[in-house]
Structure 1
Amino acid sequence: MADNNSLIGGGVSSLPFTDRVIIVQILVIIFLFINFLLIMTFFQKECFYTSTRYILFAITLFSDSLILFVTNILLILTYLEFTLQVWVCMILSASMILFNIVTPVTLTAMTLERYVAICMPLRHAELCSTCSTMHCILIIHGLSSVPCIVILSTAFATASLSFYTEPMLCSVETFMLYRWQDYVRSAIQEFYFMIMVIIIIFAYVKIMKVAKAAIIFAYVKIMKVAKAASGEDKKSSWKGLRTVILHGFQLLLCLIQLWTPFIEAAAFQIDFMLFIDFRYSNYVLFSLTPRCLSPLIYGLRDETFFHALKTFAFFGSYKINIQKT
C-alpha cells in the first residue's frame, strides 16, 4: 500500500516545490477574486437571483470557491509538513468530496435548463421557476452527498477509534485503508460519470436538432417578418448549443478529475517522481482550470451579466459613461 500520509492534491512534503506552490497561489488568488466579483454581481440585480440559470451559476461559483480555498489550505499545510488529526482531515476531505461532485452535477442541471429553454420554451417558465430551482438545488446537494457518505462510511467501518486521533498529513487517501475501498470509490465515480455524460450528449443532440430546424425554417419562409422571427430562433438555438458545448468541456474536465486518483496510483507504481508530476499537473489542469471556465461561460458571454459585472467592477462609472455616449 502506498504511503498515503505524505500525499495531497497539489504536492508532496519534503520536496522542493517552491515555484510550483507559488504558481498555484497566484492562480488561486486570481480565480477567487474573479469569483468574488461574480458572486457580488449576482446579488446586484433581482433578475439574477430569480432566474434558474443564474442561480445555478452562483452555486457553481460558491462550490468552486470553497474547493479552491480548502485544497489550497491543504496544499500549504502539506508543503509546511503540518500534520492534522485524522478526524479533522476527514471533515476537510468530506467537504472536498462533496463539492467536487456538486460542480459537475450543477453543470449537468444547467445543461438541462438550456435544453428546456431551447427545446421546450413554452414550459420553461413552469419547469424553471424559482421554487423549482430551490428544489433542484436540494436534489443536487443530495445526489452529491451520496459518494461522500459512502466513502466516509467505509472508513468508519474499517478504522479503529485510535486511528482518528493520529497526526497525519491530510489527504483523502489517508483513510482509504483497504483496496476494496478504492474499488467502491471507483464504482461510484464511474456511475456518476456515465450518467452525466449521457445527459450532456442527450441535451446536445436535442438542441442541435432544434438549431438545424431553425436554419431550415429561416430559408423556407419568404415573408420578411417570418425571416426575422426565425432568425431570432436560430440565434437563440445556436447560442444555447455553444453554451452546452462549453458546459460539456467544463464538465469533461471535472469528470476527468474523478479519474485522476487511479491514474496517479498507476504512475506511483512506475516511478515516484512521475507520480509527483502527474499529481501536480492534474491539480492545475483538472481542478483549477475548470474553475476558470464558469466566469467565461456566464461572466463574459452573457451580455446582461457582463454589463452588470462591469458596472459593479468600475463602481458604476461604466454605466454613467454609457449613458453619456
Structure 2
Amino acid sequence: MQNLSELPNNATSHKSFSVIIKVCVVIPFFCVFLCCIAVMLYIFASHRQFLDTSRYILFTYMLINDTLQLLTSVLLFLFVMGQVKFPIVCCVPLLFISTATFQNTPLILATMSLERYVAIFYPLQRPAAWRSERIWIIILCLWLISCIFTITDYSIGKHYLTVDVLSTPVLCKNVIVSSTPIQTIFKAVGNVLFFAAVAVIMLFTYIRILLETQKLRQDKASVSKAMHTVVLHGFQLLLCMLAFTHPITETLIVLHANWQPEDIAFFNFFCFMLIPRFLSPLIYGFRDQSLRGYIGKTFL
C-alpha cells in the first residue's frame, strides 16, 4: 500500500521537474533573442540612414513581427506550463497575434526579395510604393492579408454559445478557437498557398537577377549580393516551414522513443518554432556589413 501511495507523488514530482527544466530552457533563450533584437532596433533608431532605405525598413518590420510572434508564443507556453486559466476574451487576442504574425513572416520574406529585384532593375526610377517614404503602404497590406486570413479562420469555427467568454476560465490553447475539421482544411490549404506563392516569387526574382546579370550596367558585386540575399530569404523560408514538420517528428518520436505527449509538443515548439524564429533575423542582420559593424560597436 505504501508503494502504491508513493507512485502518484513520484509522477507529480517528475512532472513538476520537467516543467521547471522546460521553462529554464525557454526563458534564457528568449532573453538572448530580445537582447539581440533590442540592439538592432536601437541601431536603426539611432542612425537615420537605415530608416531612409526600404530594405532596412522591411528588415525592421520583420524584427518587430518576429518579436511579437515569439513573445505571444512564449507567453502561451508559460501559461500552459503553469496551467494558468483565464477567460476566452483574454485568450483570443494572444492567439490572434501569434497566428497573424506567423502568417506574416513568409509575406515579409517575399516582399524583401521583391525589393531587391526592384532595386536592381529600377535603380533610378523606382516605383513610388517601393520608396522608403511609401513602403509603409506595402507593410500595411501585408498586415491586412495576415489579419484577414486569421479572422476568416476563427470565423468559420464553432462558437461557444454555452460558455461565458467573459468569465469562464479556460486553458489558452489554439484548440479553443480552431478545432473543427473545416478549420484544419482551411489552414492547410491557406498555408500551402502562402508558402507556395512566396517560393514562386523568390524563385522568379532569383532567376531574373541571374539571367540579367550580364546585361546590367551596374557593379557586379551589387548584383551578386542581391542574388545571395534572395538565396538567404529562401533559407529563411525553409526555417519557417520547419513549423509544419511536427506530424513527421511526432510519428518518429512515438516509434523510436517513449516520450510523453507534452514532451513531444515541447520538442516541436523549441526546435521548429523558437530556434528558426531566433536564427532568421540574426543571420540576416549579422550578414549585413553595415549593420554588423554597428552591432560590434554597440556591444563593445
1:252 matched to 2:238? The reply is yes
Alignment RMSD, CA only?
2.8
- Distance in 2, Cα, partners of 1:285 & 1:210: 39
1:124 matched to 2:109? The reply is no
- Distance in 1, Cα, partners of 2:289 & 2:163: 56
Question: How far did 1:272 drift?
Answer: 8.6
- Distance in 1, Cα, partners of 2:117 & 2:260: 42
Q: Relative to structure 1, is the Cα distance of residues 310 and 124 closer, same or farther in structure 2, using a 3 angstrom cutoff?
A: farther
* Counterpart pick for 1:112 among 94, 102, 114: 114
* Counterpart pick for 1:53 among 47, 52, 55: 55
Question: How far did 1:275 drift?
Answer: 4.8
Question: How far did 1:277 drift?
Answer: 4.8
1:24-64 superposed Cα distances (whole Å, 9 cap, x missing partner): 21211111110011011111111111211111111111111
When normalised by structure 1's length, the TM-score is 0.77
- Distance in 2, Cα, partners of 1:267 & 1:246: 29
What amino acid sits opposite 2:289 in the alignment?
E
Indicate the residue corresponding to 1:9 in structure 2.
none
Indicate the residue corresponding to 1:294 in structure 2.
281
SS at match of 1:116: helix
* Counterpart pick for 1:183 among 185, 189, 213: 185
Q: Relative to structure 1, is the Cα distance of residues 169 and 235 closer, same or farther in structure 2, using a 3 angstrom cutoff?
A: same
* Counterpart pick for 1:29 among 14, 31, 41: 31
Indicate the residue corresponding to 2:44 in structure 1.
42
Greater mean alpha carbon deviation, residues 19-28 or residues 237-246: 19-28
Q: How does 1:222-233 map to 2 (within 5 A)?
A: 233=219
- Distance in 1, Cα, partners of 2:192 & 2:142: 18
- Distance in 2, Cα, partners of 1:268 & 1:83: 29
Question: How far did 1:264 drift?
Answer: 7.4
Q: Which runs of 5+ in 2 are unaligned?
A: 1-14
Contact persistence 1:116–1:124 (CA under 8 A): yes
Q: Percent identity?
A: 25
Contact persistence 1:210–1:237 (CA under 8 A): no
Q: Relative to structure 1, is the Cα distance of residues 72 and 141 closer, same or farther in structure 2, using a 3 angstrom cutoff?
A: same
Q: Relative to structure 1, is the Cα distance of residues 15 and 261 closer, same or farther in structure 2, using a 3 angstrom cutoff?
A: farther
1:67-87 superposed Cα distances (whole Å, 9 cap, x missing partner): 221111111121111112222
Q: How does 1:300-311 map to 2 (within 5 A)?
A: 300-311=286-297
Question: How far did 1:15 drift?
Answer: 8.0
Indicate the residue corresponding to 2:199 in structure 1.
197
- Distance in 2, Cα, partners of 1:268 & 1:147: 32
Contact persistence 1:86–1:170 (CA under 8 A): yes
Greater mean alpha carbon deviation, residues 64-73 or residues 165-174: 165-174
- Distance in 2, Cα, partners of 1:174 & 1:195: 29
- Distance in 2, Cα, partners of 1:273 & 1:182: 25
When normalised by structure 2's length, the TM-score is 0.83
Question: How far did 1:92 drift?
Answer: 0.7
Question: How far did 1:262 drift?
Answer: 5.5
1:148-183 superposed Cα distances (whole Å, 9 cap, x missing partner): 11122123x533151534322211122223222211
SS at match of 2:293: helix
Q: Which runs of 5+ in 1 are unaligned?
A: 1-12, 218-229, 315-325
Moved over 6 A (4+): 264-272
